[in-house]
Amino acid sequence: MNPPVPTRPFRLLVVDDMEAMRMALEDSLRLQGYEVVSAASGEEALELLRWQRFDLLLTDQAMPGLSGIELAETTARIHPDVPIVLLTGHTDVELAKASLQRGASDFVTKPVNIRELPIVIERNLTRRRLEVARLKEREAQVLFEAIKALASAVDAKDPYTARHSMRVTRLSMVVADAIGLTADEKYVLELSAWMHDVGKIGVPDSILTKASRLTPEEFEVMKAHAAKGGEIVGQIEELSQVADVIRHHHERLDGQGYPDGLRGEAIPLLSRIILIADSFEAMTSDRSYRRSTGRGHAFEELKMHSGDQFDPELVAAFISRIEALPDA
């Protein structure tokens, strides 16, 4: 999934010591839909840049005190990700070209063509969008790899559940394809499925690897992993939706699940999908206290509990797809 492009207006900082030029630029750019803040000097602009965030800096070159090139050079050090467009006179073109080596990303010669200026600005903002998107994709990939490593660490605590998270993710994505989830929904589902059991990192090994059925007291400890997993993941602001899915992946349609006893449609759709995939994977895998029940029996269990534990429509979609996959 590609990271979403910000929908807020782009925020520009316009710097020119000539009030008439500054006001003309402000008015023109606001009409183009940009949010504009202005400064009458390089020094004033630097003060704004130290405390505020801007998507682009548009600055005159020839100003008293701090020149445009000097402002560009300093801005590039403070905010290397902010595009800088220099306004320069015809006679300063060579100087403007040199400014590209000192932090500026583009330049426009005076007199400024108001119709062409938005094209230059948009060109530089587009570069910025692409850079941000690439950065977010890299960050997302690093995060995803870290998530998989953490999930693998949890699975490794019990040799019987090794690769459990990977299999649950694979089964969940089969349902996602069957019901036509969007790319964004699939991304959240994939992250959630990988991490659905992350809360088990706080469950004692004596309970996780117990070779017999859990006592009621031990089961209460085990049940806490859903809420704990949501808490762990919820500490990352960008994963708040994933945290919600993880927290509720053991809720039941009849309200008898945990941790919050949610019913029906109140349970997140992605949580309902993971519950089916998780249950099927558990039934068809060997565990320390029992052998695999086999696919046929697992299908019957899912059908039997459709409507009370599992979402009937999701069960039907799951079974129809899994039956066509002999190795699932």
Indicate the SS3 state at residue 63: coil
What domains does the chain contain, in order, with CATH numbers? Answer: 11-130 (3.40.50.2300), 157-322 (1.10.3210.10)
Asked if residue 270 lies in contact with residue 295, where contact means CB atoms within 8 angstroms, the answer is no
What was the pLDDT predicted at 111? Answer: 82
Task: Report the alpha-carbon distance of residue 275 to residue 283 in Å, rounded.
Answer: 12
Asked if residue 88 lies in contact with residue 107, where contact means CB atoms within 8 angstroms, the answer is yes
pLDDT in tens, the chain (328 residues): 433 334 567 899 999 999 998 999 999 899 888 999 999 999 999 999 988 989 999 999 889 999 888 998 898 888 888 888 988 875 566 666 666 666 677 878 778 777 788 888 888 888 777 777 777 777 777 777 777 777 777 777 765 565 888 899 999 999 999 999 999 899 899 999 998 998 988 888 888 888 788 899 999 999 999 999 999 888 877 788 999 999 999 999 999 999 999 999 999 999 999 999 999 998 998 666 667 778 889 999 999 999 999 999 999 999 999 988 766 6
Task: Report the alpha-carbon distance of residue 194 to residue 62 in Å, rounded.
Answer: 56
Task: Report the alpha-carbon distance of residue 240 to residue 230 in Å, rounded.
Answer: 9
Task: Report the alpha-carbon distance of residue 14 to residue 57 in Å, rounded.
Answer: 6
* Maximum separation of any 2 CA atoms in the chain, in Å: 86
> In sequence order, what are the beta bridge partners of 8?
none
End-to-end CA distance of the chain: 25
Asked if residue 85 lies in contact with residue 76, where contact means CB atoms within 8 angstroms, the answer is no
Contacts of 135 (CB under 8 A, 6+ apart): none
State residue 295 phi and psi, 5-degree precision: -65, -45
Tokens matching residue 25: 């630029």
Task: Report the alpha-carbon distance of residue 276 to residue 318 in Å, rounded.
Answer: 8
